[in-house]
A and B are shown apart, each in its own frame.
Chain A
Amino acid sequence: MGGYILKRLLSAIPVLLGITVIVFLIMAMIPGDPATAILGSYATPENVERLNRHLGLDEPLWRQYFIWLGNLVQGDFGRSFALNRPVLDEILDRFSATLVLAGTAFVLCSLLGILAGVVSAARQYGLADKAITFVVILGISVPSFFLGMMMILLFAVKLQWFPVSGMYSIWGGGDLPDLIRHLTMPALALSVVATGVIARLSRGAMLEVLRQDFVRTARAKGVHERRVIWGHALRAAMVSIIPVLGIQAGFVLSGAVYIEMVFQWPGVGRMLVDGILKRDILLVQGGVVFVAACYVGFNIVVDVAQSLLDPRIRT
């Protein structure tokens, strides 16, 4: 088991390097001169050149990459010129907020999705199946940002159950109940699409598994149908559901960008969009690498979970 984890960790290194290369190359393609972008179009040529030298932008591209990579490894993501603070500090502040939002949404969509999928498969063509299928189709078709806006209209403005936006109340908030009140709507809105996808896939996986011989064996033993479905069949279906959870985590993380805009959530997605509009390259570059690295890490966790579940791939 330890060997498997180690192997998986080592195999992530080339992926991480690849990510830095891709991000660096994309950013290097940005037309125009970063120094000019920072100093503004009225800067003197001497000043631009000095800043270029200072930023190392007069070096050849491959040296720039290795300098940047070397700094990254040491935790130096550079300085955001728009915010005038270290990029890493900003990312860490923002990422914790995203993590709360996306993490909650991910747990929600995994639980609800699998639950709906199993019930749907167990009652195939029944009323519950039809209702779930309908809601799922609606769920995977609605843009999460539109759903979020409609939720604000209904639950925040009309019913006043939840606050309209933000992560904490400005006055007197800051504790856990306050966070939960602010978190409920964005987390729900964010989880809807992934819930639909997971439910649909779980249904398919369960239908596939329920036809297999070992399910008949369990029934022939006299195992109760409830346990056949939620034990024997679901356990086997999880083998194909878990990889999808890994993929959906990426979609939840992506969707968080929209939800953060709609609900004014102080997360990393809003930071990136602001960074792009302000052409704050180091911030965008650092943010993208950081989030992608976290995603790679999460996928390792998924793979390890998969190997814990399935003894056949543990060798």
Chain B
Amino acid sequence: MTLFLRLLFRNKLAGFGAVVLGVIVVLAVLTPILPLQPPNETNTADRFLRPLQGGHLLGTDHLGRDLLSRLMWGTRLSLAVGFAAALVAGLVGAAIGVVAGYFGGRTDNVTMRGVDMLMAFPYILLALAIVAVLGPGLLNALIAVAVVNIPFFARNIRGVTVGIAHREFIDAAKLAGMGHTRILLSEVVPNIVPVVVIAMSTTIGWMILETAGLSFLGLGSQPPQADLGSMLGEARSALITAPHTSVVPGVMILLIVMSVNLLGDGIRDALDPRLRSGALARPMATTRVERAGAPMPKPEDGLLQIDDLETQFHVGTRVYKAVNKVSLALNPGECLGLVGESGSGKSVTALSVMGLVASPPGVITGGAVHLQGQDLIGAPYELLRTLRGRKVAYIFQDPLSTLHPLYRIGDQLIEAIRVHDPVSHAQAHRRAVKLLEDVRIPNAGARARAYPHELSGGMRQRVGIAMALANDPDIIIADEPTTALDVTVQAQILALLSDLRRDRGLAILFITHDFGVVGQLCDRVAVMYGGRIVEAGPTGDVLTAPAHPYTKRLIACVPELGGGQRALAAIPGLPPAVDNLPEGCAFAPRCDKAQPSCKTGEIDLTGDTRKVRCLFPEVAL
């Protein structure tokens, strides 16, 4: 609760709303004992006095009544009616929703059909029809506004109740022999109360506005009693000659509704955990770079050279060191495997190359990435954009979420081509079909017109590969391209990548957690753990004689086909959280060979072609 209030008031606008609304409500409650002039005492001699004239702070209306007094009494009435309408609509709507959601079946069907019918009316029509029946009057306007809003509550609460009605504790209560009424009151209702309160707090503003509207039309409060809406309605005929009589109640409505809305938003945001972590921030076009110190010297050769790259996620006051001084090199035509568990930092390393790490929260804080001698970290957006897809192309893991669901795949390919090569649409289309054929999609011409959801997972991934090939890049970064696919399709995709690499002389950075795949495809391999490289070397050497205990355990996790039965050795424990890395070796807490010296100081990556970051390697290098 205190956390909730703190969150609420950290939101300055919500705090402002709370204060304004609080002041207005207190004044409205105190109205009867405030030293105000009588609100309904007419004095036609003093009509339309301007503010501060004749002892009237806000002036007088068309009958010479004191505006300040009428404003306070009107505010009191409007607030009361608005809150009452919200309460009635909330309670009745919640009752309907709970019954429909809890009992389900026919009850649910019939009730919700009725609710849908009511929602088919623009709200004012229903309100007008109800007032037509009951006759003009404030109470009737209240009823009309409440009834009109019942469907909204019924619908929301029904949805929530359906979710609760299938939970285990409801079944348990039923098995315990509790009756429906008791279950509803003791198990269901307590769980939906917060939802009802939130829904009410976000709709009270509307209710006040709607009742004021009906009064404005002359269908709500009747003279001499006046709420804010009818004050405005009466003032309308004198709008031009005495504008203050309109401005006063109008501004009050605006203030009330705005403070209610601000407060309602604040409450909703404070209760929505997604907003708390800032997860709703949209990623920018390139990753933010905050690199301290002098830029790295240019490396002599190499196609892609990553040096001491540091990428972090800044969430609140926490810093997650996702990539911690990682260095990699990729030569033309070479395939480098980057292996590690989920969260080891391999994808973030790959995305950092082209500034594609989501930012916020991602920040590149150090190191360099040289592509053919050109440093990409901190490079201007326009440069990165022209390199993306043309020099370095990506293949992502899940092609269903990485292809745009609403564009035909042919159009997505054509776009990829035309972004970097201003050919005609027809020409691009021919090239797109050719690309689809290259990745062995049968009937490519017809398939180009398909949407992603119309293709199988394997076909979609082929489209992903075709798109990466569209501009004949020098490097393809494949981020677990086969993980979402089943085994036979996996093998086909790997064979395809292997062929393409041979035919086109591509360099591939292949990210995976699967050593089997690495053995098939990669020349060299680097193993990541806790944001660092722990071992690197030629694939054959690393696979046959792993030097780091972690690599050894990871390889032992792979079941061997036809190798007979053996116990699969899972690694105990979990990968470390990278916001709070222990000193020394990050793997030490899970390592069965760990010594006290493993947990102190910085352990370096040692070796030449084969490197390892371990004080007690499994094999001597």
Binding site for B on A (CB under 8 A): 15, 18-19, 22-23, 26-27, 29-31, 121-122, 124-125, 137-138, 140-143, 145-146, 149-150, 152-153, 157, 164, 206-208, 210-225, 228, 232, 235-236, 239, 250-251, 253-255, 257-258, 261-262, 269, 272-273, 275-277, 279, 281, 284, 288, 291-292, 295-296, 299, 309-312
Per-residue 0/1 for B201-231: is the Cβ within 8 Å of any A Cβ (1 yes, 0 no)?
0000100010011001111000000000100
Top 10 A-B pairs, shortest CB-CB distance: A254-B124, A146-B250, A141-B258, A222-B389, A18-B117, A210-B282, A250-B122, A222-B388, A225-B285, A213-B401
Q: Which residues of B contact A145 (CB under 8 A)?
A: 213, 216, 232
**Chain B nearest CB, measured from A10 CB (Å):** 15
A213→B460 CA distance, assembly (Å): 14
Check B143 for interface membership: any CB of A closer than 8 A: no
Check B358 for interface membership: any CB of A closer than 8 A: yes
20 A-B residue pairs with CB within 8 Å? A26-B132, A29-B133, A141-B205, A142-B257, A143-B229, A143-B232, A211-B283, A212-B401, A213-B396, A213-B402, A217-B467, A218-B404, A222-B416, A222-B420, A228-B285, A254-B124, A258-B217, A277-B219, A284-B128, A292-B120
B238-246, B438-446, B514-522, B529-537: which lies at the A interface? Answer: B238-246
A249 — nearest CB in chain B belongs to which residue?
B122
A294 — nearest CB in chain B belongs to which residue?
B122
Whether A26 contacts B133 by the Cβ 8 Å rule is yes
Interface centre among A235, A254, A299 (most CB of B within 10 A): A254
Q: Which residues of B contact A273 (CB under 8 A)?
A: 128, 217-219
Of the candidates A149, A210, A223, which one forms a contact with B283 in the assembled complex, judged by CB atoms under 8 Å apart?
A210
Residues A149 and B398 in contact in the complex (CB < 8 Å), given A19-B120, A292-B120: no
* Interface residue SS majority, chain A: helix
Whether A19 contacts B250 by the Cβ 8 Å rule is no
Whether A23 contacts B124 by the Cβ 8 Å rule is no
Of the candidates B216, B398, B419, which one forms a contact with A213 in the assembled complex, judged by CB atoms under 8 Å apart?
B398
A77→B328 CA distance, assembly (Å): 80
Number of A-B contacts (CB under 8 A): 223
**Chain B nearest CB, measured from A177 CB (Å):** 25
Of the candidates A121, A150, A220, A251, which one forms a contact with B123 in the assembled complex, judged by CB atoms under 8 Å apart?
A251
Whether A146 contacts B254 by the Cβ 8 Å rule is yes
Interface centre among A18, A149, A222, A296 (most CB of B within 10 A): A222
**Chain B nearest CB, measured from A257 CB (Å):** 5
Whether B120 contacts A141 by the Cβ 8 Å rule is no
**Chain B nearest CB, measured from A13 CB (Å):** 12
Residues A15 and B116 in contact in the complex (CB < 8 Å), given A258-B216, A288-B125: yes
Whether B246 contacts A146 by the Cβ 8 Å rule is yes
Whether B117 contacts A19 by the Cβ 8 Å rule is yes
Check B324 for interface membership: any CB of A closer than 8 A: no
Check B390 for interface membership: any CB of A closer than 8 A: yes
Contact-residue bracket for chain B:
35 or more
Q: Which residues of B contact A232 (CB under 8 A)?
A: 404, 407
B39-47, B295-303, B308-316, B379-387: which lies at the A interface? Answer: B379-387
A279→B135 CA distance, assembly (Å): 9
Whether A221 contacts B419 by the Cβ 8 Å rule is yes
Whether A217 contacts B402 by the Cβ 8 Å rule is yes
B113 — nearest CB in chain A belongs to which residue?
A18
Whether B280 contacts A261 by the Cβ 8 Å rule is no
Of the candidates B114, B129, B257, B394, which one forms a contact with A143 in the assembled complex, judged by CB atoms under 8 Å apart?
B257
Residues A15 and B120 in contact in the complex (CB < 8 Å), given A26-B133, A223-B415, A312-B453: yes
**Chain A nearest CB, measured from B404 CB (Å):** 4
Of the candidates B390, B401, B405, which one forms a contact with A222 in the assembled complex, judged by CB atoms under 8 Å apart?
B390
Residues A250 and B123 in contact in the complex (CB < 8 Å), given A22-B117, A220-B389, A221-B467: yes
Check B236 for interface membership: any CB of A closer than 8 A: yes
B212 — nearest CB in chain A belongs to which residue?
A143
Of the candidates B128, B209, B394, B406, which one forms a contact with A310 in the assembled complex, judged by CB atoms under 8 Å apart?
B406
**Chain B nearest CB, measured from A201 CB (Å):** 13
A220→B352 CA distance, assembly (Å): 11
Whether B285 contacts A219 by the Cβ 8 Å rule is yes
**Chain A nearest CB, measured from B86 CB (Å):** 16
Whether A220 contacts B394 by the Cβ 8 Å rule is yes
A228→B240 CA distance, assembly (Å): 50
**Chain B nearest CB, measured from A93 CB (Å):** 18
Of the candidates B122, B133, B246, which one forms a contact with A253 in the assembled complex, judged by CB atoms under 8 Å apart?
B122
A268 — nearest CB in chain B belongs to which residue?
B125
